[in-house]
Amino acid sequence: MTSQDADRPGPAGASRRSKITPEREREFFDAVLEQIRTCGYDAVTMEGVAASTRCSKSTLYRQWRTKPQFVAAALRSSARARFALIDTGTLAGDLREAARCAGEWSPKDATLFQALGHAVQQDRELAQALREALVDPEIAALKEILRRGVERGEVDADNPALEYVPAQIFGVLRARPVLEGCNADPDYVLRFVEAAVLPVLGLE
Amino acid sequence: MTSQDADRPGPAGASRRSKITPEREREFFDAVLEQIRTCGYDAVTMEGVAASTRCSKSTLYRQWRTKPQFVAAALRSSARARFALIDTGTLAGDLREAARCAGEWSPKDATLFQALGHAVQQDRELAQALREALVDPEIAALKEILRRGVERGEVDADNPALEYVPAQIFGVLRARPVLEGCNADPDYVLRFVEAAVLPVLGLE
DNA sequence: TACCGATACGGATCCGTACCGATACGCCAG
DNA sequence: CTGGCGTATCGGTACGGATCCGTATCGGTA
C-alpha cells in the first residue's frame, strides 16, 4: 500500500508526477489530524494546515479538492487494527488486553472521535472513512476475539451479551469524558471490563 | 454572576430591567440549542441566532456577553432530571424504564452531547453548564434508583458493577452512532440493558 | 427613558483561485 | 549509462468574495 496516486483524486487521473513524498504526505496527514484533535474539525482550516506544515494552500488544494476529502484521506492513511494483534489464549485475557489497549489509545483516538463526531453526520465520505479506518477494523477484531472464545467453549454462543460487547467497550470510552471530565485510561477500562463485561459473559 | 431576580432564570446582565419576557428568552435558548444540534457548536453564530429569532445581535450581546456564556445559559435553562421521575418499585423495572426514557430522548440530547462534546473541552463554564444541566441530575437520579435497589436487597451493595451502570447507559447512547451510524432508540437501549446491565446485577 | 430591533461599520479570518520564480523530476539524446 | 533539457509541481503570495465578530448608532415603543 505504498502511497502512489492510487487513491489520490488527481486532475483527470492522468499521470501525475507529484513531488510529494510519502513522508511529506504523512506530515500533512499528521498535522491535520492533530489540529482536529486540538481545535475541532470545524476550526481546522486549510490555511492552518498549510502554515503548520510550511506548504502552500495551492498544494493542498491540488492534491485534495476539499477539506472533507483531505481529512478522509488522512483518516484512511491512519487505518489500523490494534485489537487484531491480541491473542492471549483465553477470552478473559483477550478482553483484558483489549481494555488496556483501548485505554491507551483513548487520548488520541477518542479525542478524534469526539472532534469528528458531528462532522461525520453531515459528510458521508468522511463518515465512511472514519469507520473504515478506525471503527470497522477494531469491531471486526473484537468479534474475532469473541468468536474464538465461543469456539473454545468459554462462553455460550447464544449469550445475548455477546452482541453488545463492542458497544460496551466503545461506550465506556466515550462516556467517561462526559461523566467525569477526563479521558478513559487503561486502568479505568480494565476495571470496567472486569466489573461489567467479564461477569455478564460468565468469566472469572 | 450576581443576579437580582434570582427567582426566575433572568439574564446575566444584573442590574438591567430587561423587556425580554421568559417566553422570549426561551425562543432564544431553543433556537441556539437547535442550531447547535443541526450545525454543530462552532458553526453557530450570534448572527444566525439573531436572524432566526428576529432579534438583533445587540440584544444578544447585551444579555450575554459571549457565545459560550449564551450557550451555557441556554443549557442551564433546559436542565431536567428525567430519570428522577422513575420509580416502578423494582430495580429491574426502573432500569428498563430508564432505558426506554434514555432511548426516547437520545435524538435530542445525544445529538447535543455530540455537538458540544469538543467545545466543552475548551471552555470550563460551558462544560460545567452541560454537566449541571444534563449530566449530573440524571446521574444522581440513576444512583438513587440503584440505591433503592440495594436498599430493597435486590442487588449486593458491594457489586462492583454498580459503579459502572451510569457509564453503561450513557456509553451505549454515545456508542451506537459510531458503531452503527444511527442514534440509539428505546428498543435498542432496552435490549442492551436486558442483555448486559441486568444480568451483571443478578437481575432476571 | 431605557430597552428593543434594525442597520452600518471596521476588523479579522478563511475560502478557493491565480500568478510567480525556483526546483526537481521524467525523458531522451548522446 | 549518463547528462541535460523541458516542464510540471513546488512554496510563497496576492487577490476578491464571503462571513462573522463586537460595537455603535438610530428610531420606535412600552
A104-158 pLDDT tens trace:
988 899 999 999 999 999 999 999 999 999 999 999 999 999 999 999 999 999 9
On whether residue B10 sits in a domain, the answer given is: no
pLDDT recorded at residue A7: 38
Which amino acid is present at A126? L
Tell if A59 CB is < 7 Å from nucleic strand D.
yes
Residue span of the structural domain in which B33 resides: 22-77
On whether residue B49 sits in a domain, the answer given is: yes
Q: Yes or no: say if B85 and B96 are a contact pair by the CB < 8 Å rule.
A: no
pLDDT recorded at residue A188: 98
Q: Which nucleotides of chain D are near protein (any atom < 7 Å from a CB)?
A: 8-14, 19-26
Do residues A91 and A165 share a domain? yes
On whether residue B195 sits in a domain, the answer given is: yes
Q: Each residue of B168-180: pLDDT tens digit?
A: 999 999 999 999 9
Chain A 49-78 contacts with nucleic strand C (CB below 7 A): 56-58, 61, 66-67
Do residues B49 and B138 share a domain? no
Contacting residues of B for A192, CB less than 8 Å apart: 164, 167
Among B128, B174, B188, B203, most A C-beta atoms within 10 A, so best to mutate, is: B174
Do residues A144 and A192 share a domain? yes
Closest to B40 in 3D by CA, of B129, B118, B127: B118
Do residues A107 and A39 share a domain? no
Of A61, A77, A93, the position where a domain reaches its end is A77
| Closest partner CB to B196 (pick from A119, A164, A176) | A164
On whether residue A4 sits in a domain, the answer given is: no
Q: Yes or no: say if A52 and A35 are a contact pair by the CB < 8 Å rule.
A: yes
To the nearest 10 degrees (0 to 180), the angle between helices B165-180 and B91-105 is 40
Instruction: List the CATH number of the domain containing A31.
Output: 1.10.357.10
Do residues A152 and A119 share a domain? yes
To the nearest 10 degrees (0 to 180), the angle between helices B91-105 and B136-151 is 160
Do residues A57 and A96 share a domain? no
Above pLDDT 90, what percent of chain B?
88
Q: Does the beta-carbon distance from B171 to A166 stay under 8 Å?
A: no
Do residues B164 and B71 share a domain? no
Q: Is the pLDDT of residue A58 over 60?
A: yes
Alpha helices in B117-164, H assignment, sequence order: 124-130, 136-151
Domain count, chain A: 2
Do residues A102 and A179 share a domain? yes
Of A77, A102, A124, the position where a domain reaches its end is A77
Which amino acid is present at A120? V
Do residues A93 and A55 share a domain? no
Of A42, A77, A112, the position where a domain reaches its end is A77
Between CA A51 and C1' D25 the distance (Å) reads 39
Angstrom distance (rounded) from CA B32 to CA A191 = 39
Q: Is the pLDDT of residue B13 over 50?
A: no
Q: Yes or no: say if A121 and A128 are a contact pair by the CB < 8 Å rule.
A: no
Q: Which residue has the cell 483477550?
A: A94
On whether residue B126 sits in a domain, the answer given is: yes
Please tell me which residue of chain B has the smallest CA distance to A113.
B178
Q: Yes or no: say if B149 and B162 are a contact pair by the CB < 8 Å rule.
A: no
Angstrom distance (rounded) from CA A73 to CA A99 = 28
Closest to B177 in 3D by CA, of A75, A171, A92: A171
Q: Each residue of A21-31: pLDDT tens digit?
A: 999 999 999 99
Angstrom distance (rounded) from CA A143 to CA A167 = 11
What would the grid cell of residue A127 be? 463518515
Tell if B46 CB is < 7 Å from nucleic strand C.
no
On whether residue A157 sits in a domain, the answer given is: yes
On whether residue B11 sits in a domain, the answer given is: no
Q: Is B80 left (phi over 0), alpha (psi -120 to 50) or beta?
A: beta
**Is the Cα dihedral B76, B82, B87, B90 positive or negative?**
negative
Q: pTM score, two decimals? A: 0.91
Alpha helices in B66-110, H assignment, sequence order: 67-77, 91-105
Do residues A136 and A196 share a domain? yes
Please tell me which residue of chain A has the smallest CA distance to B138.
A179
Contacting residues of B for A168, CB less than 8 Å apart: 168, 171-172, 175, 196
Q: Yes or no: say if A2 and A22 are a contact pair by the CB < 8 Å rule.
A: yes
Instruction: List the CATH number of the domain containing B63.
Output: 1.10.10.60
Angstrom distance (rounded) from CA B168 to CA B145 = 15
Q: Which nucleotides of chain C are near protein (any atom < 7 Å from a CB)?
A: 2-8, 13-20, 24-27
Which chain B residues touch A if contact means CB-CB below 8 Å? 40-43, 113-115, 117-119, 121, 127, 131, 135, 139, 160-161, 163-164, 166-168, 170-179, 181, 191-192, 194-196, 199-200
Above pLDDT 70, what percent of chain A?
92
Do residues A59 and A139 share a domain? no
Q: Is the pLDDT of residue A14 over 80?
A: no
Please tell me which residue of chain A has the smallest CA distance to B171.
A171
Do residues B195 and B94 share a domain? yes
Instruction: Report residue A3's pLDDT band, with 50, 70 and 90 as the boundaries.
Output: very low
pLDDT recorded at residue B3: 34
On whether residue A154 sits in a domain, the answer given is: yes
Tell if B35 CB is < 7 Å from nucleic strand C.
no
Q: Yes or no: say if A184 and A170 are a contact pair by the CB < 8 Å rule.
A: no
